[in-house]
């Protein structure tokens, strides 16, 4: 039986979850995989926490201690953030130790540097846990759909925002109230900006779209819009129109053009992703051979994410040699790939207008001047001389809608542009 010695850097929520699974399922992994995986070193800034969590497992005082230990072949990084995680990982890779990480921000921003170090050291770099927690979407893309030309990737890949939007939809809560509940339940950080502003989903979509479309898609190419401007009125209006609101990550490939975007999106109630509730995640993939696949599960948490880390440890330990990106992973957009910014969508638009004769016809004229075809118009009850008017468009171009919005903001016939939400 092969013995595999592992070091863990950072034994908080995620690292602790991986440690617990490795400990609890050690015999299972021995029996089914022929591997005896031993955590022989733990590096954490709190020695007391290490002692309490591991029950006396070896604590490493420094990274150099781990690097110097020739018996350790795999290093797990669950510290989070860019530094010192980046420096630590590169040093481990250059020393020939394979690295398993859950760090989506680091992978998204510095994947090229990390992979270069891995190649120089002859080591592996594994990051299944960086995207969608315990849902094996990276494994599906890299090991199950190798023969498919993947053309679409659509997902709910942030559990915090999905929890918030579920509470707004099902319980009628405001954004602020739903956020506080998510924080109390442990699904949102004290500073939730990375989640609610869409950064977390942006990092993940950069990674997943690069893997799906076999080309480098830098995170800066991803259009990003969070959910902080979503109101209870938007959620209620969407429900009445037959839609559920989700923060979606969307990647599509058409020839050499790729669109990658993260934003609130109305989905028809019967869409499979509309049924994904609370902190759960799901990713919908379309390949030219397999057609549609949906992967669903917990997108965060100690044990789901820890499960993905353990899977990577086992995969690394069983691999005959490391594998690397299928594309030129240089951190830049690979020619001839182009990012499609003027993408096509349907739109939900909410305006507050003076309740005067001729106002609506002027608004529809402006939309028509931008080539925007209207599918439905709904006027809410007027008050104080103003009316809330909702528009649902047919498929149209993003730039056309943005042009119309700028025109509305300057028009005396429009009191305010209240909401603009894309529709599938």
Catalytic residue numbers, as ranges: 204
User: DSSP string spanning 151-182?
Assistant: EEEEEE--HHHHHHHHHHHHS---HHHHHHHH
Backbone angles phi, psi at 233, to 5 degrees: -60, -40
Backbone φ and ψ of 39, nearest 5°: -85, 105
- Name the nearest CA neighbour of 327 among 153, 141, 98: 141
DSSP 210: H
**Which among 195, 278, 237 has a CA at the least distance from the CA of 421?**
237
SS3 per-residue string spanning 313-340: HHHHHHCCCCCCCCCCCCCCCCCCCEEC
CA distance 274 to 259: 22
Q: Provide the sign of the torsion angle of the four alpha carbons 114, 190, 307, 131, taken in this order.
A: negative
């Amino acid at each position: 039986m092969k013995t595999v010695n592992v070091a863990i850097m950072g034994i908080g929520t995620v690292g602790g979850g991986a440690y617990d699974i490795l400990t609890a399922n050690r015999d299972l992994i021995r029996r089914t995989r022929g591997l005896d995986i031993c955590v022989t070193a733990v590096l954490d800034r709190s020695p007391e926490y290490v002692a309490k969590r591991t029950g006396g497992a070896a604590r490493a005082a420094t990274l150099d201690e781990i690097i110097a230990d020739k018996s350790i072949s795999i290093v797990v990084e669950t510290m989070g953030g860019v530094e010192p995680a980046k420096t630590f990982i590169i040093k481990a890779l250059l020393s020939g130790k394979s690295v398993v990480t859950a760090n989506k921000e680091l992978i998204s921003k510095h994947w090229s540097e990390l992979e270069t170090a891995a190649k120089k050291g002859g080591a592996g770099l594994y990051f299944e846990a960086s995207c969608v927690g315990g849902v094996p979407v990276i494994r599906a893309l890299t090991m199950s759909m190798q023969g498919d030309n993947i053309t679409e990737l659509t997902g709910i890949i942030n559990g915090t925002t999905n929890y918030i939007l579920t509470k707004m939809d099902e319980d009628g809560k405001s954004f602020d109230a739903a956020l506080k509940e998510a924080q109390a339940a442990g699904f949102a950080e004290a500073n939730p900006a990375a989640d609610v502003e869409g950064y977390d989903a942006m990092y993940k979509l950069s990674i997943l779209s690069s893997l799906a479309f076999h080309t480098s898609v830098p995170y800066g190419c991803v259009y990003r819009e969070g959910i902080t401007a979503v109101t209870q009125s938007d959620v209620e209006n969407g429900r009445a129109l037959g839609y559920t609101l989700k923060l979606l990550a969307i990647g599509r490939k058409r020839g050499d053009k790729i669109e990658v975007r993260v934003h609130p999106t109305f989905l028809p109630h019967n869409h499979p992703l509309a049924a994904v509730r609370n902190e759960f995640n799901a990713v919908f993939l379309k390949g030219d051979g397999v057609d549609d696949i949906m992967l669903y599960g917990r997108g965060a948490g100690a044990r789901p994410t820890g499960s993905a880390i353990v899977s990577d440890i086992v995969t690394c330990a069983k691999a005959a040699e490391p594998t690397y990106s299928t594309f030129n992973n240089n951190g830049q957009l690979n020619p001839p790939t182009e990012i499609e910014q003027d993408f096509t969508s349907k739109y939900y638009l909410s305006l507050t207008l003076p309740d005067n004769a001729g106002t609506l016809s002027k608004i529809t004229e402006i939309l028509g001047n931008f080539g925007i075809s209207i599918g439905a118009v709904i006027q809410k009850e007027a008050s104080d001389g103003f009316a809330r008017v909702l528009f649902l468009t047919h498929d149209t171009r993003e730039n056309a809608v943005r042009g119309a919005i700028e025109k509305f903001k300057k028009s005396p016939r429009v009191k305010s542009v209240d909401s603009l939400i894309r529709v599938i």
